[in-house]
Amino acid sequence: MNHLRSFVRRTAVRLSVSQVKSRQFLQRSVVAVGSLAVLGSCATNAPQDTWQPKGPNAKMIDDLQQPVFAVAGIIGIIVCAAVAYAVWRYKDRGQPIPEQVHGKPALEITLTVIPALILAVVGVFTFRVIFDLARTDDTQLVINVTGQQWWWEYDYPVQNEWGITQPIISSGQLVMPAGVKVLLRETSRDVIHSYWIPALNGKRDAVPGRVHTLRLEADEPGIYAGQCTEFCGLSHANMRMEAVALSPTDFAKWVANQQAAYQTPAADSLAKQGEDVFLNQCVRCHQIDGLKRADGTLAIAAPDENVWSGAAPNLTKLMTRNTFAGAMFDLLRNACRDDVWNAPSAEFGAKYLAGVDESCLNVSDLRAWLRNAPEVKPMYANPALLADTNGKYRGMPNLGLSESDIDKLVAYLLTLK
């Protein structure tokens, strides 16, 4: 009998300790998750924060979502509190089951009408914002945007009012004038992608065969980060983009530079040898406007013969951009990059237009990319596994370049400014 009592006591103690531990674990978990959520909202370096609009289009969305979130939050708190109260107040304490009543028309109508009214008010303002964001008649600058696995191409149609007298084609970074209503005309070459610069506007899908429009406008010069938001394959997470807003004066300088004639590197220089390597290897897919072969003919890339999407980034003026490989890597070293990103608006244009020089070049990532691109960015670029794409690559393959060739190419690419 004593044994039995002892066993019951020990078991009760064990159970009691176990319950206390479980409760402590639960409490700590709730505190940890809550702390993370609170601390997460305190992040200052969050370039893709949807709550920090930097242009009128994003502000329109923000002005809508702030009150909607507030109303939804208040209603959420009221509902949760009511549920918690009901759970606590009427939990089973052995009391008799209360009288079961069915039908309270006044209450039911009220509880139907109030949400309907709230939604109607929200709907009115939402539709207004949707229509405002769909406007195209006030466009000041048009830029075509084409998505493909896994980078964005930008081409600027001829627009004499902006000094664009011949098409400009670029990739990775969208350059636009600040304070100007820009209209992106989006499409895709392969699968559906989605263009999103959170600080400047919402998302818009880029769909093959269709042209969708997206308004962008930045209040101040600066760089605004974005990310493809439609899952598009292996390197979707690495399909980034940056919108660079310049003052109209700086934008004019950028336009002029982009249209400037190609400069062949000095004879017998390392860069000149790099040009030869480019002509032998890279020009199969990558276009550099104005680049000529030894016989004087224009070197015209043929990505349609080698790449599944039919295009590869145009590398004309590559070193005027700050990123490469679908904006996955920076062309600038960290210190130089921070210098540009954190520059005051007034100084930003000059720093950005300075481009990339040898002292600031992120040479390690660039060399790694040239050495074996698929190793640093997941792509379908294994020559043995291209049966489904008729031998065409989705991404840059390993070209098997020697270290000497890479030296030459880096020297050559540095001249593309």
Partner 1 sequence: MFKAGSKLFLGLTGFSALNLIAYIVFVERLALGGVALSMVFAAFVGLSAVVLITNEGDSETQPRDAALTRTSMWPLVTVVGVVLLILGLVVAQIYFILGIVVVLAALTEWLVLSWSESASDDVAHNESARHRLLHPIEFPVIATLGLGVIIFSFSRIMLAISKSAGAVVFMVVATLVLLVGTWFALRPALKTALVSGICVIGAVGIVAGGIGGTGAGLRTDLAEAAAEGHYTHRECGEKKSKYFDKKAMKTLSLRSNAAAIIELRDGKLSAVVNGFATPQRSVTAARGNPVTFIFRNFDSAERRMVASLGSAMPAGTAEAGDDEHSDKNETCTQLIPQGAEQGLTITYNKPSIAQDMPLTLTVPGLPGQSIEVVVP
Residues near partner 1 (CB under 8 A) are 136-137, 139, 142, 144, 146, 153, 155, 157-158, 167-169, 183, 185, 187-189, 207-213, 287, 289, 298, 300, 302-304, 309-311, 314
Minimum CB separation from partner 1 for residue 372, in Å?
A: 25
Nearer to partner 1, 189 or 408 (CB): 189
What is the SS3 assignment for 253? helix
* Angle of helix 105-133 versus helix 56-89 axis, rounded to 10: 160
Cβ atoms within 10 Å of 7's Cβ, excluding its own? 10
Q: Smallest Cα–Cα separation from 389: which of 277, 300, 304?
A: 304
Nearer to partner 1, 67 or 391 (CB): 391
Residue 55 contacts residue 216 (beta carbons within 8 Å): yes
Nearer to partner 1, 13 or 298 (CB): 298
Distance CA 378, CA 380 (A): 7
Distance CA 151, CA 240 (A): 7
Cβ atoms within 10 Å of 38's Cβ, excluding its own? 9
Please name the residues in contact with 163: beta carbons below 8 A apart, sequence gap of 6 or more.
Answer: 252, 255, 256, 259
Nearer to partner 1, 47 or 208 (CB): 208
Minimum CB separation from partner 1 for residue 138, in Å?
A: 9
* Angle of helix 345-353 versus helix 248-258 axis, rounded to 10: 10
Half-sphere exposure of 321 (CA within 13 A, CB side): 28
Cα torsion for 173, 175, 181, 182, to the nearest 10°? -60
Minimum CB separation from partner 1 for residue 381, in Å?
A: 18
Minimum CB separation from partner 1 for residue 144, in Å?
A: 6
Distance CA 317, CA 262 (A): 9
Minimum CB separation from partner 1 for residue 215, in Å?
A: 10
Minimum CB separation from partner 1 for residue 153, in Å?
A: 7
Nearer to partner 1, 208 or 378 (CB): 208
Cβ atoms within 10 Å of 341's Cβ, excluding its own? 19
Nearer to partner 1, 184 or 401 (CB): 184
Residue 374 contacts residue 353 (beta carbons within 8 Å): no
Nearer to partner 1, 153 or 330 (CB): 153
Minimum CB separation from partner 1 for residue 251, in Å?
A: 17
C-alpha dist (Å) from residue 361 to 98, 189, 224, 244: 76, 31, 21, 19
Q: Smallest Cα–Cα separation from 351: which of 359, 340, 341?
A: 340
User: Residue 136 has what DSSP assignment?
Assistant: -
Minimum CB separation from partner 1 for residue 189, in Å?
A: 5
Pairing type for strands 240-246 and 204-206 reads unpaired
Minimum CB separation from partner 1 for residue 137, in Å?
A: 7
Nearer to partner 1, 84 or 298 (CB): 298
Nearer to partner 1, 261 or 267 (CB): 261
Nearer to partner 1, 137 or 295 (CB): 137
Minimum CB separation from partner 1 for residue 289, in Å?
A: 8
Half-sphere exposure of 309 (CA within 13 A, CB side): 28
Minimum CB separation from partner 1 for residue 294, in Å?
A: 18
Nearer to partner 1, 176 or 414 (CB): 176
Which residues are paired to 171 by β-bridges? 153
The number of helix segments (H) and strand segments (E) in the chain equals 11, 12
